[in-house]
Amino acid sequence: MADRISKDRRSWNMSRIRGKDTKIEVQARKYLFQKGFRYRKNVRKLPGCPDIVLPKYKSVIFVNGCYWHRHPFCHLATTPKNNAAFWQDKFEKNVQRDERNYKALQEMGWNVIVIWECEIRTDMEAIMQRVIRELEEQYIQKSLNRETSEI
């Protein structure tokens, strides 16, 4: 089956898909900022260029779109019917790259938190409260480790 829109229009549509400062990413950052968390955006020196970096908490947050990052069992993670093999390969490479980046960050001592697009759309308050609890737990753990190493 042929594409319903022209090749030029499809190219234009795809060029509008943002890689950073997406709507859900901005919502998550605003929430954290309102709660007093200070962060850096898209730190390129770290593997995967995390969306939100909280150095004080030694944590990074990835705000992933369900479609591109293949959120398991999510209704937003559909596969196009046209050129399905190409898309499946592309999606698999995205997931593998994500896993490599998460592992590299963890090996560097960073706490990795992943927030999914559908979670923010469904219940942003609950998800962000979970993130804040995890950040606070990480900070407490970091403080305890520092105290025990000083003894």
β-strands 111-116, 59-64: how paired?
parallel
96 or 148, higher pLDDT: 96
Report how far residue 73's alpha carbon sits from residue 69's, in angstroms, rounded to the nearest whole number: 12
Per residue in 77-124, pLDDT (tens digit) is 998 888 889 999 999 999 999 999 999 999 999 999 999 999 999 999
Q: Is 130 exposed, middle or buried (0-12, 13-18, 19+ CB in 10 A)?
A: middle
Rounded mean pLDDT of the chain?
90
Whether the full predicted model's pTM is greater than 0.75, yes or no, is yes
Under the banding of pLDDT at 50, 70 and 90, the label for residue 151 is: low
- The phi-psi region of residue 39 (left if phi > 0; otherwise alpha if psi is between -120 and 50; otherwise beta) is beta
The two structure tokens encoding residue 39: 């962060």
Per-residue model confidence (pLDDT) at position 8? 83
CA angle 136, 119, 13 (to 5 degrees): 125
Which domains are delineated in the chain? 40-143 (3.40.960.10)
Q: How far, in whole angstroms, is CA 93 from its chain's centroid? A: 16
- Amino acid letter at 93? K
Between 3-7, 36-40, 56-60, the lowest mean confidence (pLDDT) is in 3-7
Q: Is the pLDDT of residue 1 over 60?
A: no
